[in-house]
Amino acid sequence: GEGDEAAAAAALAEARALHREDAQASRRMAEYGEALLEELLPGRAYQLLTHCNTGALVSGGEGTAFAVALRVHRQGRLRRLWVDETRPLLQGARLTAYEAARNGLAYSLLTDNAAGSLFAAGEVDAVLIGADRIAADGSVANKVGSYPLAVLAKYHHVPFIVVAPTTTVDLETPDGTSIIVEQRSGQEVTELTSPRGVSAGGGGGIVVAPLGAPAYNPAFDVTPPELITAIVTEEGAISPVTGVGLAELCARSSQVTIN
């Protein structure tokens, strides 16, 4: 009836509005991220390392961390995007590499455990990652493998930058220890899946461990704020990362939404 049509039209209009807001937030994050890189590493082209996927395939607009790399590329300032394959589900290899190639970025794919040698060789100017959740103290939960990059970046004096919208900040979660990390099936580790995600049990994967081998497979890890150079949001960047700074950004975002 007319009521159903009106409800459907209202839902569609709201969805389109949210899509526009996401795209605008992505553009602002890219602008703030580029400005931060210029501030930290003035007058040079960058070799950037990223982990997991933070582009248009998983986020609004052109993404979060990937949107920064894309903007830098369009400015002619990207020497290379280093793409972690992101084991065990290979989001970097399957998604980020695809988006980098599609947009004409100079990129190279690497196994996650090869990142250390890149830092040691001086081939990483900055690390850019996204976030699945940011706690009130600035601790960042992201795809497993992010925390080791933060430790490497700290040792090698390389900026470690998290790019995420303020909606990722959970002020009800006080700190990193309060974030519950999902433990996923060990089968993702003991078998190599096909591009369509079919495991050996389903006839499409390769078994790489003894039958019944136990596996540790957390979906995320948590990086403490002291290892993070800056958090970039659509409301600006904060550095150093503090709970007060995060709360101010979120308050600014809420005011914008209300207005």
Residue 64: alpha-carbon gap to chain centroid: 7
Q: Is the preceding omega at residue 240 within 30 degrees of 0, hence cis?
A: yes
Q: Is residue 132 within 8 Å of 168, Cβ to Cβ?
A: yes
71 in helix, strand or coil? Answer: helix
Question: How far is CA 147 from each of CA 31, 129, 255, rounded to the nearest angstrom?
Answer: 25, 10, 32
Tokens of 203: 């006839």
Q: Is residue 130 within 8 Å of 220, Cβ to Cβ?
A: no
Active site residues: 132
Beta bridge partners of 207: 191
Question: How far is CA 222 from each of CA 10, 127, 155, 198, 218, rounded to the nearest angstrom?
Answer: 39, 16, 18, 29, 11
